[in-house]
Every structure is written in C-alpha cells, then in structure tokens.
Structure 1
C-alpha cells in the first residue's frame, strides 16, 4: 500500500509539473540586451526573440542557450528587427539543434536581412568571434515564415495571433494565452513627458546650438528611431526658413538601403504618415542629405549630423564625437536608451568568465 501510494503521488506531481506554465528569460532578465524568453507548457515550448547583447562580442553576446535544449522548441517568434531582439537568430538556426518553425512579419524579415548583413560587415571582431556569416544569414532567410498582423499562425501549440506593436516598422505582439503578459520594460519605472513636449525640447536644443554657431551630433540606431527623428527635423526645417542654409546629414548607408522597405510598407505606419504619403513621399527629405564618410564631410560651419552607431563606440558617430567634443558650442543629443557597458567604449570581454 505504501509503495502504491508513493507511485500515485509521483504520478500526480509529474502531471502537476506538466500543467505548469514555465517562463525562463534567457536574456533581457534584469538587463537590457539579448532579449530571449523561453516558455513551456504541457511538453510544448515556444521562444520569443533571439537577440544579442550590444555590449559584448562573440559567444558572450548570445542569450544563455546552454540553459535549454533547442531541439525541444516548437516555434520561435521574433517581435522586431532590432539587434537586441533578432541578431542571434542566424546562429540559433544554423549552429544549434533547433528544428522548429520561425515567424516574423514581412517588414521585419525584409529589414532583418539588411540589418544582419550590415552587422557582419561592420563588426570589429576576429574571425573566431564571429557568430555567423553572410551564408548563415541567407540560409536563415529560407527558414523564416512570414505572418501578417491580425493573422493567426499554426504551430504545435494552439493557434497564435499577431498584432501591431508600434515601436518600429513591422514590430509585432504575439498572443498565445491571456493568462500572462511578457513586455519589454526598459523605461518601466520612468514617467516620460508628453510626446510634443519631448519633440520641442529636441528641436529647441538643436536650434539653440546652431544659432550659437555650434554643431549637433545625434548618435542614433540606423533604423527605427532615426527615421522618426529625421521626419521631425525635416518638418522643423521646412517651418524655419532661417535654418535653410544649415545642412542636416544622415550618415548611414544601411538606412539608405532600408528606406525602400519603409516606402514599401507605408500602410503599416500611423495615420499621419499615410495621409502625408497620399500627396507626397514623407521620406523624400527636402533638407537632409546622405553622408558616406568623414572624408566626404565639408565641416566648415554649423550643421546637424545624425550618425550610427548610437553607442559612440566606433564608426562615424565616434569620429565626430572625438572631433567636436572639446568645443563647448557643440552639442551631442542622445535620443535613445544607453546600454550599460556599451557607451563610449569598445566591446567588453566575456562577462561569463
């Protein structure tokens, strides 16, 4: 009787464990970077996002994949194209035992391809530290399935649904169950000023700096927030003829290549942009020029330059920062979140050792 009771109790405990919804952050848990969340329920598993940590390089930048068995994952859903949410996907698809299905929206897939190819090209790491190459990216593209907003997808789980999330072009929310909500909380403990107030602060600082003969550097991500800020600047310049002789430059070949994607998916944007597109292309900037390199830059007076990378750790943004930072007339406007350990320093060593 005792042995029989023990077996029944073990069986009940096993069933209780199978009925539990278990959520494990493999990245972005108490940190910003390498977003990746593993979820299991009744022997079915799903993973949300597959990013890198921008403060590290090589294997140190990956989510903690060694905590799971990739072969058990049924479906992987990527919410948007930013590196901290999608840049370890080629590694995960090509260099682990993962055999499940991968979904993202059409716009996310289009920009993912361009963004990851650029990431490989500009990464300042040794061959041994490279997580993947262009061929890995190409092969990963063949495995990615696309899903539309408000469309349901099928997996080993019940159907899941895809909803627009705002944030950047193509960004999606995925719904499996209303029991729990997993949400990025980078600014979760902060109260932001209203949008119009923040936009005015942004343009006021730039106008004031220019009026005093200074230069403005805006280090920004190549995609997402940059396009939003460029729209604001182009509109502001249009309303201020006294600024028309002050050049605005955007230094990102990647963003220039991606502009065609933004114009293709114009219907995925807000009402203001869609209505404007009916009469003119809002991304055909009237007061903004492309800047390829510092060698092509005629730095002879006040100007505004938006350049990547956002962390000033390398590239044109760092070159201009070093050149301009000693002059008090100049300004550096930081428009986004700064990742700890990433700002004004090269990639760090492996934090796991």
Structure 2
C-alpha cells in the first residue's frame, strides 16, 4: 500500500471495529492488537516505484485520485501484465487530482464499475446546486446533515463550503462529528503532495485543510437551537453517528439531508434516494416519519462511465474484467466496451472463476542461414511515366522515364524448441535437414 494509506489504515480499521463491536454489539472479527500486528507486516511503496516482490512478481503503484493515498496497481508475472484499478477517479476535484497511469501493454485490466452507466454533469453545476440547497436551508433556520465518509468527501465539501462561507460572510457554524473525520483531516494537512495542483500551489500561503469556519461537534449539541451544517459518518446512514442525528433531524420540514455520494442498496441513504417516502423503516421495529428535505448530489469520488471508457481506450488491454458494480449496469458497460473497442470483457459474479489467456514472450537465437535470408533483398521494379506517380523530373518539356524500386523482402522462419536447448528461429530449409537428421538418428537407434 502507499504511505498515506499505511498512515490512515489503522484509524479506519479501529473505527470500523468500534462501530461493529462497541456500538452494534456484533462479533469482533479482529482486535486492536491484531490491527497493530497487521500493520507491522505492511511494506509501503511510492508512486511509480517498481518493486520486485520475488523472482517472478513485479508491481508498481499509480495515482488513482478517489481518496488520499488511493492507488492503481500494475502487476507483471513472467510475461503476463495486468492493472487492478481499485477505486479511482478520472476527473480532478477541489482537493485531489485525476488518476494518472502510463500507457502499458496489458493482457488484463480489472476495473471498478460503480457508475457503469452514469455520466455526470459538470462539477461546477453540481457545486452550485449543493450550495444553493444548503444556503436556503440555513437561511430559514434549518439544520443540514451531510452523511459522508471521513476520507475524501468530507474534505472536498468542507473546502467548497469554507470558500462559500467566506464569500457570503455567513456566520452559521459548520461542524465535523468528533472522532475519525477530525483525525483524518489532520493527516490531510500533512500529505499535501498527494492533493490537487491548486492546493499544492497555494500551500506556502495557506493550508487548504485549515478550516476556519469548521468546529468540533458534540453529541449534546444534536437538539441545540439554531441553524448549522454537520458532517457525520458513515456516508450511507448505515449506522453510527449519522443515523443517530438523522433520527432527530428528519422529523422537521426545515431541515435538509443531502446525500453526496453512492449508497448501497439496503442502507437508509439508498432508501431515501430511491423512494423519498414519508416513512422509512430503520429496522423491523422502528419506522421514522421523514419530513425533512432530501437532496441527492453526485459528489462521489468514483469515476463515471465516460471515465471508465476513457481508461479502457487509453490502456487498450486485451481483456477487461468489471468489478464493484451493479449486475445489470455492468452487463450494459460490458457490451459497450466490446462493441466500441472490440475487447473481450467479463462481469463475473462473486466467487466465479475467469480464465484469461496471456501473451508469452520468449528470447530466441536466430540461425546464420535465417539471418542471411533476412539480409537478402527482394527488389521489385515498376516503370512509370507519370510524374505524379514516381516523382519524375521534368526537363524542359520532356518527361524522364523513371523506374520505381521497392524492397519487398519477407523472411519466413520456423520457431524451434528442443528439449534441453535454447529456443531458436531457423530457415525453413534448415528445418527439413533437422527433421531428416532426427529421423536418421531414430532409425539408427532401432537396430
């Protein structure tokens, strides 16, 4: 993994453990001590650093955008080459750049397909819509809940709101829920080299992650009077603090819940996005009367359909496997990739095995006879009287008749692999001699 991921992973894993065990009471899959021991085994890599893992395996990380530290990984085993993208974003945003990768010769590309059929509108239009909805809510005295994950979208939207608050001279408080988001933001302040070019260019004057208008939120403030904006995790309202706040704020028509990213089916966020019903079942025994406004905005850090197609077109792999998507949308993208690029594409189900053939390159010697045949010219001559056809020279009014000469040499060799010997390319006439010798040796061996 990359150095930022190595720094942030223990925080993310410990937060997950606390949510699942301490808050939900579920079985502990791993302990805090096991997280520490796990991280001791991690080897961090720099971007574009080629790492020879063993005699056969070579890997290299490429910048993926998405969240700080995210990387696509190139892997080469023998002659087989592939890229596994993980989550990535092909367009830059306010705090991160776009994914960057070399043009590689790939047998296989494994790409995420979260937004397999979605093409997003311009970032600026989405930002205007978001700011308009938030400003309208707080101007009327309402509270805005932004369920978001601690890494990425919280920082992206905070930068956007911070700039807007300064321009509009708004005094309404913006809050981070205590815990992971604040810890993660501290790392963002230190990892400027992984951020967008604009943030790097202005770093000497101002750290974009020093949010002047953002404060820490305490649980006791949930029902405090007055407008505010709150970033709370997790992003899909699947539990945790965002669900706790949602239960309290969803019953008021003055309040707003804005969902900035993708929500998995079955989560409260997904139910709000797909149904927008007046009542939502939180569990088998709890139903909540949703009266607040609900806005869905496409601020997801995943690339859209156009980004996926652009990457496939750029890398031009021999095969593509789609993962991390919805089945019917993946099937549509699969057909599009095959029809537009002629590339074999797969969308396997979980636990399904796919076998991909790869190209094998072999170092081979060439026989002297084959090399001489390559050096022998094969001229063809063509008489022409047209100045246009042969670029003839006209002297006065007379046309010099010219001869066009082309070398159409084609060397035909035979690739021979004999047991215990190095592979070799021989001339076809040599092969007949070799076969005769083998036949003679075989006959001698039978007497």
Could you tell me which residue of structure 2 aligns to residue 138 of structure 1? 36
Could you tell me which residue of structure 2 aligns to residue 82 of structure 1? none
Could you tell me which residue of structure 2 aligns to residue 76 of structure 1? none
Could you tell me which residue of structure 1 aligns to residue 70 of structure 2? 171
**1:272 and 2:198 aligned:** yes
Q: Tell me the distance in 1 between the aligned counterparts of 2:185 and 2:252.
A: 33
Could you tell me which residue of structure 2 aligns to residue 62 of structure 1? none
Instruction: Pick closer, same or farther for the CA change 1:233–1:193 going to 2, 3 Å.
Output: same
For 1:109-124, list aligned pairs within 5 A: 109-123=6-20, 124=23
Superposed CA deviations along residues 252-273 of structure 1, whole A, max 9, x for unmatched, are 3112122232122111111111
Q: Secondary structure at the match of 1:337?
A: coil
Offset, 1:297? 4.8
Offset, 1:126? 4.1
Q: Secondary structure at the match of 2:231?
A: strand
Q: Secondary structure at the match of 1:181?
A: strand
Does the aligned pair in 1 maintain the 2:2–2:69 contact within 8 Å?
yes
**1:261 and 2:159 aligned:** no
Could you tell me which residue of structure 2 aligns to residue 295 of structure 1? 220
**1:190 and 2:88 aligned:** no
Does the aligned pair in 2 maintain the 1:252–1:308 contact within 8 Å?
no
Offset, 1:296? 4.0
Q: 5+ unaligned residues in a row in structure 2: which ranges?
A: 76-80, 82-105, 270-281, 285-447
Deviates more, 1:316-325 or 1:182-191: 316-325
Instruction: Pick closer, same or farther for the CA change 1:323–1:125 going to 2, 3 Å.
Output: closer
Deviates more, 1:293-302 or 1:109-118: 293-302
Q: Tell me the distance in 1 between the aligned counterparts of 2:249 and 2:129.
A: 22
Given candidates 183, 188, 201, the residue that maps to 2:129 is 201
Q: Tell me the distance in 2 between the aligned counterparts of 1:276 and 1:106.
A: 23
Could you tell me which residue of structure 2 aligns to residue 153 of structure 1? 51
Instruction: Pick closer, same or farther for the CA change 1:314–1:154 going to 2, 3 Å.
Output: same
Q: 5+ unaligned residues in a row in structure 1: which ranges?
A: 1-103, 348-353
**1:252 and 2:178 aligned:** yes
The TM-score normalised by the length of structure 2 is 0.51
Q: Tell me the distance in 2 between the aligned counterparts of 1:155 and 1:143.
A: 14
**1:220 and 2:129 aligned:** no
Q: Tell me the distance in 2 between the aligned counterparts of 1:211 and 1:238.
A: 16
Q: Tell me the distance in 1 between the aligned counterparts of 2:283 and 2:74.
A: 38
Offset, 1:319? 2.2
Instruction: Pick closer, same or farther for the CA change 1:229–1:342 going to 2, 3 Å.
Output: same
Task: Give the structure with the higher percent strand.
Answer: 2
